[in-house]
């Protein structure tokens, strides 16, 4: 039986046959179980209603890109990302047991490509409208373009030792002060990422993470020398964090009645 995956490509916006893409790339330790909890299912889970978890037994993949965008991002950016992830993994072996962060030092690293691959991974969670609003489409479709307007988002990164891949769609949640955080989370081994889509509103959980703004603002692919201090965050659960926020607001409204 042939399955058809007709839809809108998350990077170029074309409506066509979509192709299978691994997020993260298969060679970047994407051969474990993964779970996806998005949209209504996420909200239902928080409210103890029925929800569906999309569980992939053999890694995490989706059908969100046209063949051309899938090939381009795979060919242009994925290899540098895979090498980066594998070197982070090898650094992990030499880490003291009670370490709170990992210092990653590298020479002549194509950091621009690595960041672009992170955005390519997020594209499927964001959908095309938001991708184009943020300028991620142009940024990814032009191979040598490393410029992107950083005023509309913040990208954070942290060390994660949990093998279970967790992707969320775009989530908005109220904080107790009434402000709204909007973000997407991509928890992969050994690095997890959060894309904050309302950068004026921060959150304690993200302040502990490494902000990649300087790397993005370098607007250059090759970086001669880099030292990244990447915090280790065990059991980071965006869902848990958000649940807490929603409970807070629920308690607040009960108290005021």
Q: Is 126 in the site for Zn ion (CB under 5 A)?
A: no
Q: What span, in angstroms and rounded, lies between the C-alpha atoms of 92 and 81?
A: 17
Q: Is the bond into 167 cis (omega within 30 degrees of 0)?
A: no
Closest CA to 24 of 247, 205, 187: 187
Minimum distance, C-beta of residue 194 to Zn ion, in the bound complex (Å): 25
Task: Take residue 12 and report the two structure tokens written for it.
Answer: 């170029």
Per CB under 5 A, the segment of 2-10, 166-174, 199-207, 240-248 that binds Zn ion is 2-10
Question: Taking the complex as a whole, how short is the minimal distance between the CB of residue 77 and Zn ion, in angstroms?
Answer: 14
Closest to 228 measured CA to CA, from 214, 242, 218: 214
Do 120 and 77 meet the contact criterion of CB atoms below 8 Å apart?
Answer: yes
Least separation, in Å, of the C-beta of 188 and Zn ion? 23
Binding-site size, Zn ion (CB under 5 A): 5
Interacting residues with Zn ion between 18 and 77 (CB under 5 A): 66, 69
Q: 9 vs 136, which CB is nearer to Zn ion? A: 9
Burial class (CB in 10 A: 0-12, 13-18, 19+), 68: middle
Smaller CB separation from Zn ion, 67 or 222: 67
User: Between 65 and 194, whose beta carbon lies closer to Zn ion?
Assistant: 65
> Within 170-229, which residues bind Zn ion (CB under 5 A)?
none
Please identify, using beta-carbon distances, which residue of 137 and 203 lies nearer to Zn ion.
137
**Residue 257: C-alpha distances to residues 196, 247, 249, 254 (Å):** 33, 16, 13, 5
The nearest distance, CB 245 to Zn ion, in angstroms, is 35
Min separation Cβ 152 and Zn ion, Å: 21
The distance of closest approach from Cβ of residue 14 to Zn ion in the complex, given in angstroms and rounded to an integer, is 5
d(Cα 102, Cα 96) in Å, to the nearest integer? 9
The reply on whether position 9 binds Zn ion by CB under 5 A is yes
120 sits near Zn ion (criterion: CB under 5 A): no
The β-bridge partners of 158 are: 192
Cβ nearer to Zn ion, comparing 19 with 38: 19
29: its two tokens: 């330790």
Q: Which residue has the tokens 């969100």?
A: 64
Task: Give the residue with the Cβ less far from Zn ion, 69 or 165.
Answer: 69
Give the residues lining the site for Zn ion (CB under 5 A). Answer: 9, 11-12, 66, 69
């Amino acid at each position: 039986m042939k399955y058809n995956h007709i839809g809108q490509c998350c990077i170029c916006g074309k409506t066509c046959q979509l192709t299978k893409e691994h997020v993260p790339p298969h060679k970047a330790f994407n051969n474990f179980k993964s779970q996806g909890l998005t949209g209504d299912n996420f909200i239902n889970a928080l409210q103890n209603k029925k929800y569906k978890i999309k569980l992939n037994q053999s890694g995490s993949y989706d059908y969100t890109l046209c063949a051309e965008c899938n090939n381009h991002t795979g060919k242009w950016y994925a290899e540098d990302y895979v090498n980066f992830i594998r070197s982070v993994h090898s650094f992990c072996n030499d880490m003291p047991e009670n370490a709170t962060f990992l210092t990653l030092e590298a020479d002549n690293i194509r950091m621009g490509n690595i960041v672009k691959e992170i955005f390519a991974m997020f594209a499927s969670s964001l959908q095309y409208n938001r991708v184009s609003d943020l300028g991620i489409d142009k940024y990814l479709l032009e191979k040598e373009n490393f410029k992107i307007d950083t005023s509309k988002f913040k990208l954070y990164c942290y060390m994660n030792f949990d093998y279970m891949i967790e992707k969320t769609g775009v989530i908005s949640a109220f904080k107790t002060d009434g402000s709204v955080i909007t973000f997407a989370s991509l928890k992969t081994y050994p690095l997890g990422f959060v894309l904050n889509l309302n950068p004026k509103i921060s959150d304690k959980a993200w302040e502990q993470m490494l902000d990649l703004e300087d790397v993005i603002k370098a607007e250059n692919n090759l970086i001669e020398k880099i030292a990244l201090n990447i915090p280790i965050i065990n059991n980071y659960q965006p869902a848990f964090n958000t649940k807490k926020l929603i409970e807070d607001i629920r308690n607040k409204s009960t108290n005021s009645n």
